[in-house]
Amino acid sequence: MNKTGKPVVARILDANDKELMAIRKLERDGNTLVIRGKIFGAMPMVAKLTPAEARAALRLLDWRTVLFLLTILFRK
């Protein structure tokens, strides 16, 4: 929770700026990243990212995208 008492939520949006997923919590479970949230604002979901899948996702990135990801936190 933040100072206003509202829980912190990260949202993933579609091409029309509609909410696909609200991420409520990221946590570690052994070597797996566990993502907890809701899909389409209604259905609770638990997703797991394994090290093998994380490596596969990194292979999808080119250098321009890597640079963008490094600077995204500093953009408006």
Measured between alpha carbons, how far is 38 from 11 in angstroms, rounded to an integer?
10
Distance of CA 6 to the CA centre of its chain: 19
Measured between alpha carbons, how far is 45 from 76 in angstroms, rounded to an integer?
29
Statement: residue 9 has pLDDT above 80: yes
Domain extent listing, the chain? 10-74
pLDDT at residue 23, as a whole number: 95
* Average pLDDT over the chain, rounded to an integer: 92
Mean pLDDT (whole number) for 5-20: 90
pLDDT tens by residue, 26-62: 999 999 999 999 999 889 999 999 999 999 999 999 9
Measured between alpha carbons, how far is 37 from 21 in angstroms, rounded to an integer?
7
3-state DSSP helix/strand/coil % of the chain, to nearest 5 = 25, 40, 35
pLDDT at residue 41, as a whole number: 86
